[in-house]
Structure 1
Amino acid sequence: MAVYGALRSGTTLLRLMLDGHPALSCPGETDFLFDHVVFDGARPGYDAEALENDRIYRDHRDLYPDRPLADLTPDALIDRIAGADQTAVLMLHRHLDRLLEVYPDMRIIHLVRDPRDVARSSIGMGWAGTVYYGVDHWIDTETGWQALCGTLKPEQVIQISYEDLINAPEATLRKLCDFIGIEFVPGMLQYDETSTYSSPDPSLVAQWKRKMTAREVGLVEHKVGGLLAQAGYAPSGYPARAPGRLGRLALRLNNRRLVLSRRIERYGLRDALLVFAASRLGVPSLAQGAQRRIDGKTVRYLK
């Protein structure tokens, strides 16, 4: 089974809730399973070098500490992720197409959040400097969903929203449990006792209405286009205008400036500039050491 949703859409919160059920095993983010998968033989394998450099995979390296990376397959890793007598729940933010190519009958929980709130949250993570760019990964995830959701059988998929998970957590989890075929247990809502996450807070819903300007909302709504309604969200009523050529240039330059400034603040001038330069040159291996140091510091901001 897999949860599929954009980053900053509540996937970690849902993972903690599902992991509170004794029948489920939800060890963390598992994008690495399909980010580096290679289809060049009778069975899918991995780009060993890319996998080894993946921060999330390195956190799971003990799954097969003595097995060569070149011999690993998605089946082998998922078997180790699942506990005894438990169903593994994968947490994915992208590459739904690759997942379904390997597991066409996999059941999918599609988790969606208002893109205007996702855009704001992305800035807090340092992934973007403006909401105009902060919504990009939501667009990528939801575009992937819209391209493939029509190929799924009705009994194979369920969609829930972050807003429902926050405003009506027990009812939403009961609906998920019915879909999975298990009984709801109260422990699914006790994650705040074993993690840094607090109980569901309704004030986290629709923050964009209080914290974004009309222009920012309009820019985001223009950029997401029809995906807003397809995801189940209503437009604000503000003008959804496209920026002009000079406006796009200003947005791009301001975004780069703010992202680099935040990275320097968090990770130090040397490492931030090394990674930035390597990325611009298209040679990420030039900053491999700096990237690993940054990866080590990143976890403190992941809540």
Structure 2
Amino acid sequence: MSRLHPNFLICSERSGSNLLRSLLNAHPEIYAPEPIHLGAFWERVEEFGDLRQSASWRALLAAIVEFLAGWKGSLHPSLRLDVASLDAAIPERSFAAIYDHLYALGLAAAGKRRLFIKENHTAQRAPIFRAAYPDASFVYQVRDPRDFLASCKAFPSYKYGSAQAAIEIWCADQQATIELRAQLPAGRVHAGSYEALIHDPEAELVRLCAFLAVDYAPEMLEFYKTEDARRAATHAAWRNLGKPIMTGNAGRYAQTLTRDEIAMVEAHSGALMDRLGYPRSLAAADLPPLPPSAPDARPPHLRHVDEASGSAVVHRIIDRHLP
């Protein structure tokens, strides 16, 4: 049985997920490490074959160790991992045991008692997490899809490769979350928005701390002064973690998206925007027709992998280590 009782974040990338993680990690009782993308490994673990076989087991451990040694995210700065020590310490040959062991190491190194895990596409991977952690809770944060797309557009080339690919990812994330929430008891999901978080961070964090069964800690609002946030902010995609919350960082899409891009977003995500409380800016008659469905039946998060992302690095490392 797992030693952990994790809380998982459900949040599209470029939607304040790293901000929320950093805020929570500044709490004296909450361990919310940088994302290490173990969910992407777990999603492909069957390709390694029977983990009871030493060659398959050690190939998987080697892939994880290689990724964690080179990735910008970290369980804890003090941890150094190697295949031999993991092999000796993990009590059974399963990915759940690997996941449990690694986060338990980080929790112990941080000296905290509550675990908050940021994974990408958590709702799509929720069946995996729920099977291993049936009592897990989930924290859902959503952002206006137009601001999400504006943030994707700010990359040197569009994150996920194109505007349409990015908004397909956003829609798939929200739809999967709606389906997951319908399966969970009401007390197991906390819902919030990026806009509410930056508009009134104290009120939102008080609500969230109550859900996580910890007292609100005012030092969370000074997250940007922590070593964790300063280290994360050295990476371009997370540079805003080195400064206070950007309270005016909502609705800025109008300054960076073209009318055609806004129309594309609302054509794809209009029904979800309505459900999530984001008013549309264009009339239905002004929206373009939706393109035909992609012939590739894989979910969008597997079809549109940003080549600079943690998932892409995971996939390349897995491909090298498959037995």
TM-score normalized by the length of structure 2: 0.68
CA contact (8 A) 2:268 2:290 kept: no
- The CA deviation at 1:60 is 4.1
| Corresponding position: 1:91 with 2:127 | no
- Kindly provide the amino acid, as one letter, of the partner of residue 89 in structure 1: F
- Kindly provide the amino acid, as one letter, of the partner of residue 287 in structure 2: A
Q: Cα 1:243–1:80, aligned 2, differ >3 Å: closer, same or farther?
A: same
d(CA) in 2 for partners of 1:224 and 1:244? Answer: 13
- The CA deviation at 1:47 is 4.3
d(CA) in 1 for partners of 2:266 and 2:66? Answer: 35
Q: Which secondary structure state, in structure 2, belongs to the residue aligned with residue 190 of structure 1?
A: helix
| Corresponding position: 1:80 with 2:99 | no
> Which residue of structure 2 aligns with residue 204 of structure 1?
249
| Corresponding position: 1:187 with 2:219 | yes
Comparing 200-209 with 222-231, which one deviates more in the overlay? 222-231
Once the two structures are superposed, residues 160-181 of structure 1 have per-residue CA deviations (whole angstroms, 9 ceiling, x without a partner) of 1000111111111011111112
Structure 2: any 5+ residue segments left out of the alignment? 1-6, 234-240, 295-304
Q: Cα 1:123–1:140, aligned 2, differ >3 Å: closer, same or farther?
A: same
Once the two structures are superposed, residues 60-115 of structure 1 have per-residue CA deviations (whole angstroms, 9 ceiling, x without a partner) of 48464321396652211221121334211100221223222221221111011111
Once the two structures are superposed, residues 18-68 of structure 1 have per-residue CA deviations (whole angstroms, 9 ceiling, x without a partner) of 011101011111432x222247789xx894465356468855484643213
- Kindly provide the amino acid, as one letter, of the partner of residue 10 in structure 1: G
Q: Cα 1:55–1:64, aligned 2, differ >3 Å: closer, same or farther?
A: closer
CA contact (8 A) 1:173 1:184 kept: yes
d(CA) in 2 for partners of 1:107 and 1:35? Answer: 20
- Kindly provide the amino acid, as one letter, of the partner of residue 81 in structure 1: G
CA contact (8 A) 1:21 1:188 kept: yes
Choose the corresponding residue for 1:224, options 255, 269, 272.
269
Q: How is 1:45-194 mapped onto 2 (pairs within 5 angstroms)?
A: 47-48=60-61, 51-52=64-65, 54=67, 58=71, 59-60=73-74, 62=79, 64-65=81-82, 66-68=85-87, 73-82=98-107, 83-94=110-121, 95-125=125-155, 126=157, 127-128=159-160, 130-194=162-226
> Which residue of structure 2 aligns with residue 213 of structure 1?
258
- The CA deviation at 1:233 is 1.7
- The CA deviation at 1:182 is 1.4
- The CA deviation at 1:193 is 2.0
Once the two structures are superposed, residues 139-175 of structure 1 have per-residue CA deviations (whole angstroms, 9 ceiling, x without a partner) of 2322221221111111111111000111111111011
Q: Which secondary structure state, in structure 2, belongs to the residue aligned with residue 226 of structure 1?
A: helix
CA contact (8 A) 1:177 1:184 kept: yes
Identity of aligned residues (%): 22
Q: How many residues align?
A: 255
d(CA) in 1 for partners of 2:276 and 2:37? Answer: 22
d(CA) in 2 for partners of 1:55 and 1:93? Answer: 16
CA contact (8 A) 2:31 2:112 kept: no
Whose relative contact order is higher, 1 or 2, with alpha carbons under 8 Å and at least 6 apart? 2
